């Protein structure tokens, strides 16, 4: 896995469903740890009901893209 370009590692990691799976992969070697630990620690999952009351959440995220940069699951 370490011999392939970093651009290809991320799509592979994106297929891991749980942060704990990413963490387990990160703990296999120092190089993956340096790449993946920030992804695990900054992982965000948003669960909400799709209704008008959740509109302020989406408006705030649209106005501040940095808030949404680590969202992996909606």
The pLDDT tens digits of the residues spanning 1-18 come to 678 887 888 788 888 878
Q: State the pLDDT at residue 43.
A: 66
Quickly list H helices, the chain: 6-14, 19-26, 30-41, 55-63, 65-68
Q: Are the beta carbons of 43 and 36 closer than 8 angstroms?
A: no
Q: What is the pLDDT of residue 42?
A: 67
Query: Does any domain span residue 1?
Result: no
Whether residue 29 lies inside any domain: the answer is: yes
Query: Is the pTM higher than 0.75?
Result: no
State the DSSP H helix or E strand holding residue 44, giving kind and residue range, or none if neither.
Answer: strand 44-45
Count structural domains, the chain.
1
Tell me which residue of 35, 48, 47, 29 sits closest to 9, measured CA to CA.
35
Does residue 43 form part of some domain? yes
Domain housing 53: 6-69
At 23-69, the pLDDT tens digits run 888 888 888 888 888 766 666 677 777 777 778 878 887 888 777 77
Count the Cβ atoms, other than its own, within 10 Å of residue 36.
21
């Amino acid at each position: 896995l370490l011999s392939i370009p970093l651009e290809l590692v991320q799509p592979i990691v994106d297929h891991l469903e749980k942060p704990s799976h990413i963490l387990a992969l990160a703990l296999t070697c120092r190089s993956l740890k340096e790449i993946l630990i920030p992804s695990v620690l900054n992982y965000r999952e948003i669960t909400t009901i799709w209704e008008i009351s959740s509109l302020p959440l989406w408006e705030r995220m649209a106005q501040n893209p940095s808030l949404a940069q680590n969202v992996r699951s909606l």
